[in-house]
Amino acid sequence: MAESSDMIEVTVKTLDSQSRTYRVRGQLTVRQFKEHITTSVEIPVSKQRLIYQGRVLQDERTLADYNVDGKVIHLVERAPPQTSTLPGPGGAGVSPGEGAEAGSSSNSHPPSSSQGSPHDRNGNSYVMLGTFNVPVNIMDPQQIQV
């Protein structure tokens, strides 16, 4: 049986501001800890991301490695992998990563507005909602391009 000195107390805070405190062995791997908390946080292990001091905890390391005894770890849910196809040359669907030119980076930029709605880095579509006016006395009207 493990001695009480091997036990640590870890608080897990979720995005909905709920905090849960667990008393576990410090030698648990992060993966084992995720399995331990999965029923109470209602997030599958594969979607859990634990963050401490701005760093994502790696599954193969132990809680003791991160010195989290008495500390707060933040839990966020990973976004599901994108399984949609992207428009390819000639309108054919191309899965992400397929059809890349040799030597090109797999981290491609989001599609431009000519290929559909613009996207931010999280894959969210956006539209322009309006414009704003700038006083003419701060700009030379001759330099304004329309």
* Residue 23 lies inside a defined structural domain of this protein: yes
What's the chain's average pLDDT? 74
Domain that holds residue 25: 7-77
* Residue 33 lies inside a defined structural domain of this protein: yes
For 23, the enclosing helix (H) or strand (E) is strand 19-25
* Residue 134 lies inside a defined structural domain of this protein: no
Domain count, the chain: 1
Cα–Cα distances in Å, from 94 out to 15, 99, 108?
34, 7, 14
Encode pLDDT of 25-59 as tens digits: 999 999 999 999 999 999 999 999 999 999 999 99
* Residue 144 lies inside a defined structural domain of this protein: no
CATH (domain of 68): 3.10.20.90
Q: Is the pLDDT of residue 72 over 80?
A: yes
* Residue 34 lies inside a defined structural domain of this protein: yes
